[in-house]
Amino acid sequence: MLAWTGDFETERADEMRELIRRYEEAARAAGRKLGPTHRTLLRDRANPNRYLAVFEFDSYEDAMANSDAPETTELSGKLAALSLRPPVFTDCDVAESEAL
């Protein structure tokens, strides 16, 4: 399993959520399988404009296919335009995940 994280700052989180919602709806309507299997959005308590997004994928290959899709590139550009600074992305292998 692979987890992709994005660290970004924005004052327009609601607009970002709407863009992501429309992206996911369009993917489903077109019959495309969404790349991520799970999404978590974390908000920094000390800096309320800073967010960490975690997207989980079944495999590295699924993550790279999602990343290379033109729709994802377009979405990334729109999200970056709503950010206060360039986002920082990290690809991580999930070393451990456990429900407690």
What are 43-86's pLDDT values in tens digits?
A: 999 999 999 999 999 999 999 998 898 999 999 999 999 999 99
pLDDT score of 34 more than 80: no
Cβ(42)–Cβ(62) under 8 Å? no
Rounded CA gap, 73 and 68, in Å? 7
| Reported confidence tier of residue 30, pLDDT bands at 50, 70, 90 | confident
Cβ(15)–Cβ(90) under 8 Å? no
| Reported confidence tier of residue 97, pLDDT bands at 50, 70, 90 | confident
pLDDT score of 99 more than 90: no
Cβ(4)–Cβ(89) under 8 Å? yes
Residue bearing tokens 């429309």? 22
What are the residue ranges of helices labelled H in the chain? 13-29, 60-68, 70-81
Q: What is the pLDDT of residue 28?
A: 87
